Amino acid sequence: MTWRRIMIDLAPLREAPAFRRLWIGSTLSAFGSQMTSFTVAFQVWTLTESSLAVGAVGLAVAGPAILFGLVGGAIADSMDRRRLALVACVAQAVIAAGLVVQAIAGLEQLWLLYLLVAANATVNAVGGPVRRTFLARLLDPRLVPAGAALNMLAMHASLTTGPMVAGALVAGWGITVAYLVHLLTFVAAFDGLFRLPPMPPEGETGRPNLRAIGEGLSFIRRSRVIAGAFLTDINATLLGMPFALFPAINAAHFGGSPQTLGLLTAAPAVGGVIGALLSGPVGRIRRPGRGILVAAAVWGASLACFGLTTYLWLALALLVVAGVADVLSVIMQTALVQLATPDNYRGRVGAAEFVVGAGVPHLGNFRAGAVASLVSPAASAFIGGSAVVAGTALIALALPEFRRCTAPPTTAPDAAKQPQPTGSS
């Protein structure tokens, strides 16, 4: 196998200018978002020195994502998606400005941090599902797996550089500068969205009501393959997310400095970058369901071992392996879901995927912090990772259709037979 076949496919950036502009803007904005995520967690830890309080930041994100994510998907399937994404982008920039102001004023109010985080998550509950619909609209079906890999590369590169840069800025100049950099990145994000063509949903659409949401959930339930992908992701993130444990583990075993905390936070993303860069063969996997299950098991086993080590180099190596497994799993899942869903359902299916991807990990971080308060941070990491491995095995046994599924077609099977959205309430 040549290096060209192993390395990430850059064809979407060459062949689709609109996707390229959107990808650049989204990458810069994601970098700023990860800086803010790190800085908020550090600020909360500084104020409270509590893993539970840090985990509650995740709860402030998960609550709105779960409550409003499905509504966002229904809205995305009823109107021009470009316009909706632009409104969400502006609203998030205003919230980012709020974080800058509270840092400059030195308010140090825990409730205000939670409020701003929750407000951003509420807006993202609409913007997130909308952005997920762009991939299959801007790219030829043959390029969708490569586009998913590029999106994962951007995300994990942001996860790598964002916390490290934020840690250095916080240590040298304080939290205000880190928040300000995030605010500035919205210029690139807005430009990438503004230059997109209009994106109304294709096919018959209706009003964003409860019936429309129910039709989307029913479509997912009928597809054992898509349901299996979602369940595997829920299992891995709800039971295995370790990020709320990093401040306490860093303080207990690795010196407690912001720079070391930044390394721990960035290590899974380093693995994500490596996995994305070497994702060329992923688009050629014939049984993506099996690949997703194997990757989830590797993720869980790596986190369990992370909870057992007190050596920084080994802890970082295990987190890198976990990151590789995570990104390969998400690339396979994204391609599977995008190519198996008709366009007039992509907003709602993407919303369910968003709720799983944006909400459940934060619930997992809250769970990790709560378990750590009962036992210890290291024990919480070990218990969570072991539970992921056991849960993955159960999913493989319970859903043989998912385990045996082959690469999806370019449109949803029997799409013409799916019930169409209605405008009635």
Of 9-23, 69-83, 181-195, 394-408, which range is least confident?
A: 69-83
Residue 281 has what pLDDT?
Answer: 73
Q: Please say if the pLDDT value at position 414 is more than 50.
A: no
DSSP 289-310: HHHHHHHHHHHHHHHHHHTT--
The mean per-residue pLDDT over the stretch 42-66 comes to: 82
Q: What is the pLDDT of residues 393-412, one digit of tens each?
A: 999 998 888 888 776 544 44
Q: Output the six-digit token pair for 389.
A: 């491995």
> Residue 284 is encoded by which pair of tokens?
């050629």
pLDDT at 408: 54
Position 303 scores a pLDDT of 94
Averaged pLDDT, 174-200: 88
Pairwise CA distance, residues 357 & 238, whole Å: 10
Phi-psi group of 205: left, alpha or beta (phi > 0 → left; psi -120 to 50 → alpha; rest → beta)? beta
Mean pLDDT score, 96-111: 89
Average the pLDDT over 96-121 and give the result: 90
Q: Which of 331, 328, 329, 307 is nearest to 319 (CA)?
A: 307
152 or 90: whose pLDDT is higher?
A: 90
Contact 169, 103 (CB under 8 A): no
Amino acid letter, residue 201: P
**9-413: in CATH 1.20.1250.20:** yes
Q: What is the pLDDT of residue 208?
A: 65
pLDDT at 219 over 70: yes
pLDDT score for 322: 94
Biggest CA pair distance of the chain: 60
pTM for this entry: 0.69
Would you state the pLDDT for residue 409? 47
Higher-pLDDT residue of 71 and 424 is 71
Q: What's the token pair of residue 411?
A: 């449109």
Candidates 13, 275, 289, 59; CA nearest to 155 is 275
Lowest-confidence segment of 142-151, 339-348, 365-374 by average pLDDT = 339-348
The average pLDDT across 117-135 equals 85
Angstrom distances, CA of residue 58 to CA of 244, 339, 369: 8, 30, 10
Model confidence pLDDT, tens digit, residues 285-336 = 778 888 899 999 999 999 999 988 888 889 999 999 999 999 888 888 888 8
Residue type, 278: L
Mean pLDDT lowest for which of 88-92, 137-141, 175-179? 137-141
Res 420: pLDDT:
36
What is the structure's pLDDT at 407?
Answer: 65
Confidence (pLDDT) at 205: 60
The Cα-based distances of 55 to 185, 316, 355, 406 in angstroms read 26, 21, 18, 38
Q: Distance (Å, rounded) from C-alpha 304 to C-alpha 309?
A: 10
Task: Calculate the alpha carbon distances from 113 to 47, 60, 92, 233 in Å.
Answer: 11, 10, 15, 28
Q: Read off the pLDDT band of 209 (50, 70, 90).
A: low
> Can you tell me the mean pLDDT for 12-28?
89
- In angstroms, rounded to a whole number, what is the distance separating the alpha carbons of residues 242 and 254? 16
| Better-predicted residue by pLDDT, 55 or 20 | 20
In the predicted structure, residue 132 carries a pLDDT above the cut 60? yes
Over 80: is that where the pLDDT of 138 sits?
yes
User: Could you count the other beta carbons within 10 Å of the beta carbon of residue 289?
Assistant: 27
pLDDT reported for residue 385 = 94
Residue 389 has pLDDT above 90, yes or no: yes
Average pLDDT, stretch 216-235? 85
Alpha carbon 383 to chain centroid, angstroms = 23
Residue 87 confidence (pLDDT) above 50: yes
Q: What percent of the chain has pLDDT over 70?
A: 92
pLDDT for res 197: 85
Higher pLDDT pick, 243 / 393: 393
Please provide the average confidence, as pLDDT, over all residues in the chain: 83
